[in-house]
Amino acid sequence: MSLEVSDLVVEIGGRRVVDGVSFAVPDGGRVGLIGESGSGKSLTALAVLGLLPDGATATGSVRWDDREILGLPDREIARLRGDEIGVVFQEPQTALNPIRTVGRQIGESLRIHQGLSRADARRRAVVEAERVALPDPASIVERYPHQLSGGQRQRVAIAMALACRPRLLIADEPTTALDVTIQAGILQLLQSLVTDAGMSLVFITHDLAVLAQVAETAVVLERGRVVETGAVTTLLKAPTSPVTRALLRDAKATLWQPEGPS
């Protein structure tokens, strides 16, 4: 297993917001964390990444390649982020620096983790922009985030996350802020990049229909606890928990489109 989370507990102000979460992601596996807002799925990911907010504490175990990483010093966990573990957040507008070109931001992790020169990092930024299907890569890397569309900014965020060829990608609601057409393109891109590179994936969402497009296994959370785990295909056909059944109803309602008048 590349990632093993065991009995993870996150507390904020003495209140448990993640309560005994366990799951594993094998090499090349695609696992989804799914639940409604407040279910603890994003906090679980932040605990894995060592990015919990001030005042939050985490106990339990998070093992990466059989090495315990929960509680590592910031400097050590930062070496893993961007190098071995990539992360894409929900809203790229807040993740991107507005006063730096997107090319410089794509190349930053390459300079930090691979020691590339500024010129080499810039050349690689063009390659990474092309890899995520950004139009006119050589030109777009010279632009600033506000000059790009929402879908293009998310592609930049994906390029940043994958520039160092990590073995695991954690994607936290990466398509929620996008319209349906752009969302479909981003999901297709993520799926192809993960599959082609043989990466492992942790995909976080509240939408079972979205999860079905990218993940093999689902971990369903409610109020910080795991209430159901299983193959996504099984959950779509025969969910056992009330939470999963509600998520399935929501997914069907999203997918169903009434016919117009004849």
Q: What tens digit of pLDDT does each residue of 111-153 get?
A: 999 999 999 999 999 999 999 999 999 999 999 999 999 899 9
- Domain with residue 98: its CATH number is 3.40.50.300
Handedness of CA 82, 133, 199, 94 (dihedral sign): positive
Give the long-range contacts of residues 139-143, CB within 8 A, separation 24 or more: 140/102, 140/103, 141/101, 141/102, 141/103, 141/106, 142/101, 142/103, 143/101, 143/102
Q: Distance of alpha carbon 85 from its chain centroid, rounded?
A: 10
Residue 239 lies in a domain: yes
Residue 10 lies in a domain: no
How many structural domains compose the chain?
A: 1
pLDDT at 95: 78
Residue 218 lies in a domain: yes
Residue 78 lies in a domain: yes
What is the Cα–Cα distance from 168 to 214, expressed in whole angstroms? Answer: 14
By residue range, what is the domain housing residue 140?
Answer: 26-51+74-255
Residue 56 lies in a domain: no
pLDDT tens string 47-101: 999 999 999 999 999 999 999 999 999 989 998 998 999 999 877 777 789 999 9
Helix axes 150-162, 118-131, angle to 10 degrees: 120
> What percent of the chain has a predicted confidence (pLDDT) above 90?
81
Class of residue 149 by CB neighbours under 10 A (exposed 0-12, middle 13-18, buried 19+):
exposed
Residue 184 lies in a domain: yes
pTM assigned to the model: 0.91
Residue 16 lies in a domain: no
Structure tokens that stand for 230 in this block: 């299983």
DSSP symbols for 235-261: HHH---SHHHHHHHHHHHHHH--PPPP
The CA-based diameter of the chain, rounded to the nearest angstrom, is: 64
Residue 225 lies in a domain: yes
